[in-house]
A and B are shown apart, each in its own frame.
Chain A
Amino acid sequence: MIAFEGVTKRFGPWVAVDDVSFTVEDGAFCVLIGPSGSGKSTLLKTVNRLVVPDAGSIRVDGEDIAALAPEELRRRMGYVIQSVGLFPHWTVERNIATVPALLGWPKARVRDRVTELMELLHLDPERFRNAFPHQLSGGQQQRVGVARALAAEPRILLMDEPFSALDPITRGTLQAELATIHRQTGTTIVFVTHDMDEALKLADRIAVLDHGRLVQYAAPRDILANPAGDFVRDLVGREEWGLKRLAVETAGERARPLNGSVPDGEPLPGDTPLRRALSEMVSRGTDRLAVVDGQGRPAGVLHLSDLVRP
């Protein structure tokens, strides 16, 4: 759990972070979003003390991080940046093993952990173990970057626009993989981006920042349902607002209970986003779809008219 309390940071006359307070729950995926200069990167860096706030405090699991030695603090957290920053003179294996080596893990454990992480990030261990960063593509390098951040089993993962420099297809793939890793490991993730769609896709909670001030802190559907003012509305993008709302709700949430006949055709899993459900209805030319639960048992029926219910 990460608690920001009155965090303020100034660079000369410019206020980068202005009295920000909110709490990230244990295991949550929190996205910090805002335009350039909104202070999101600066705020992220206060968590691992790459930036020291001028006022306020940050508590991790109740402990004020200022009480710890910075290097100790950072070894307990993962850190991924946009430009990756792999050590060019070290192999992939040695890069990933950076923090475990600093912590003095036994060699065998390190080796196994590297293999485990490479498989998790879909990097063929045999092929890439002894490769050097310059031999990898941008997407592969960032996978190594994420693996390196996760190597010492941190409870908190900090990510500063990690996928912004990648092409859209690789970005989408990595976003999905990150979401999977989050579900599997339960790591608390604080993720900075300027891309609202990325935020809506990945976040449990979104913190919207404007010129260093926290404008809204809420779950994606709440941001879409009750945006806190024009700034948030503009950030989301007013066009296709409805479609974005459909993207964050699922079929299971809006399906009506079973009552009589079940529509024909392939049923949708309950966790399908409504946007996809709409697409299916259009493709099949129907206004009703069957919905099933995680075990494949019928759970309800989704009607087109339910999609436009407020």
Chain B
Amino acid sequence: MRGGGLRLTVAVLALAALVLGMPLLKPLFAALYPALERPLYEGDSFLALTADHLALVGASSLTAVVAGIVAGILVTRPAGAEFRGVVEAVATMGQTFPPVAVLALAVPAMGFGPVPALIALTLYALLPIVENTVAGLEGVPDAVLESARGLGMRPFEILWRVELPLAAPVILAGVRTAVVINVGTAAIASTVGVKTLGLPIIIGLNGANQAYVIQGAAVVAALALVLDLGFERLTAMVSRWRRA
């Protein structure tokens, strides 16, 4: 197995070990923190927390991917070109907004709970995806598009067989950015009433329980790394022709 595949496998195994085997580490934490009454977070299983976390990240990312790529496509077609400037400006400016602030603003706007958090995460994920979809589609050389038209491909065929495959690495980079940011923001979403891997961390910080904090932090970090490595592999697969 080449380097990339090996690192991903190792990371996945590490994550699985942490998530499933956390209870086995109880003696370790008890020894490190003898003063703590509860050295292991047992409010929910880490498996359930990870599943909830992934559900939030997955749902928001998937929605953002579909909506963002469609928006990026529409804005690079002749009919939608008028909207492109404003859309790009919003996407760029929106990314200067700290994600934690966007998440927090969901509460005055829509209240506590998973739905406002989901909306905030989706909106925030849209930005790099739209920006990168536009950049990726713009990056397809004019000569390639001209010959595709000249050979008799229909507009949809050109989009599906030429533009999107060539833009894929850049689009994937945007999705990767969005997902990794979402993993972190989803952890903070525990402060707005969503049960995610951030919960042990927040509870631990509020209750001076360092063990909880470390446990939650370790799993979140591992999750982010696994997803990032996964996207790296995916991007490599999609741009295989470049390295021939």
Given A89-B166, A131-B244, A132-B244, also A84-B147 (CB < 8 A): yes
Extra 8 A-B pairs, beta carbons < 8 Å, given A84-B147, A88-B141, A145-B147: A71-B154, A81-B143, A81-B146, A84-B143, A85-B144, A88-B241, A99-B152, A134-B242
B132 to chain A, nearest CB (A): 18
Partner of A87, one of B144, B149, B150, B152: B144
Contact with B along A19-59 (1 / 0, CB 8 A): 00000000000000000000000000000101000000000
Q: Does A230 contact B (CB under 8 A)?
A: no
By the criterion of a CB under 8 Å from any partner CB, how many residues of chain A are at the interface?
A: 30
A72's nearest neighbour on chain B, judged by CB, is: B152
Does A85 contact B143, Cβ atoms closer than 8 Å?
yes
Does B144 contact A135, Cβ atoms closer than 8 Å?
no
Does B244 contact A71, Cβ atoms closer than 8 Å?
no
Contacts of B141 in A (CB 8 A): 83, 85, 88
Partner of B151, one of A88, A135, A148: A148
Contacts of B148 in A (CB 8 A): 85, 87
B162's nearest neighbour on chain A, judged by CB, is: A87
Contacts of A70 in B (CB 8 A): 152
Does A79 contact B147, Cβ atoms closer than 8 Å?
yes
Does B151 contact A98, Cβ atoms closer than 8 Å?
yes
Q: Does B153 contact A (CB under 8 A)?
A: yes
Contacts of A84 in B (CB 8 A): 143, 147
Contacts of B144 in A (CB 8 A): 85-88
Does B147 contact A85, Cβ atoms closer than 8 Å?
yes
Q: Does B165 contact A (CB under 8 A)?
A: yes
B36 to chain A, nearest CB (A): 56
The B interface is mostly helix, strand or loop, or mixed, namely helix
A interface residues, Cβ below 8 angstroms from B: 48, 50, 70-76, 79, 81, 83-90, 98-99, 102, 131-132, 134-135, 145, 148-149, 158
In the complex, 15 of the A-B residue pairs with CB atoms within 8 angstroms, ordered by the A residue number, are: A74-B149, A74-B151, A76-B152, A81-B143, A81-B147, A83-B143, A87-B147, A87-B162, A88-B141, A88-B144, A98-B151, A98-B153, A102-B152, A102-B153, A134-B244
Contacts of A102 in B (CB 8 A): 151-153, 157
Closest 5 CB pairs of A and B: A85-B147, A79-B150, A74-B152, A85-B143, A75-B152
Contacts of A71 in B (CB 8 A): 152-154
Contacts of A86 in B (CB 8 A): 144, 147
Tell me the chain B residues, 165-191 only, with Cβ under 8 Å from chain A. 165-166
Contacts of A148 in B (CB 8 A): 151
Contacts of A158 in B (CB 8 A): 150
CA gap between A210 and B103 in the complex, in Å: 63
B119 to chain A, nearest CB (A): 36
Does B242 contact A81, Cβ atoms closer than 8 Å?
no
B2 to chain A, nearest CB (A): 20
Does B150 contact A50, Cβ atoms closer than 8 Å?
yes
Does B149 contact A50, Cβ atoms closer than 8 Å?
yes
Does A79 contact B151, Cβ atoms closer than 8 Å?
yes
Given A83-B143, A89-B166, also A135-B244 (CB < 8 A): yes
B165's nearest neighbour on chain A, judged by CB, is: A89
Does B147 contact A89, Cβ atoms closer than 8 Å?
no
Does B150 contact A74, Cβ atoms closer than 8 Å?
yes
B210 to chain A, nearest CB (A): 51
Tell me the chain B residues, 129-155 only, with Cβ under 8 Å from chain A. 141-154
Partner of B241, one of A83, A89, A99: A89
A75's nearest neighbour on chain B, judged by CB, is: B152
Contacts of B154 in A (CB 8 A): 71
Partner of A99, one of B146, B151, B165, B166: B151
Does A81 contact B150, Cβ atoms closer than 8 Å?
yes
Contacts of A89 in B (CB 8 A): 165-166, 241
Contacts of B162 in A (CB 8 A): 87
CA gap between A135 and B150 in the complex, in Å: 24
CA gap between A84 and B149 in the complex, in Å: 13
CA gap between A149 and B147 in the complex, in Å: 10
Contacts of A72 in B (CB 8 A): 152
CA gap between A89 and B164 in the complex, in Å: 11
CA gap between A134 and B141 in the complex, in Å: 13
A100 to chain B, nearest CB (A): 11
B147 to chain A, nearest CB (A): 3
CA gap between A212 and B151 in the complex, in Å: 26
CA gap between A73 and B153 in the complex, in Å: 11
Does A73 contact B152, Cβ atoms closer than 8 Å?
yes
CA gap between A12 and B164 in the complex, in Å: 32
Contact with A along B83-115 (1 / 0, CB 8 A): 000000000000000000000000000000000
CA gap between A192 and B154 in the complex, in Å: 25
CA gap between A134 and B145 in the complex, in Å: 17
Tell me the chain B residues, 34-67 only, with Cβ under 8 Å from chain A. none
CA gap between A106 and B120 in the complex, in Å: 51
Contacts of A98 in B (CB 8 A): 151, 153
CA gap between A85 and B141 in the complex, in Å: 8
CA gap between A225 and B35 in the complex, in Å: 107
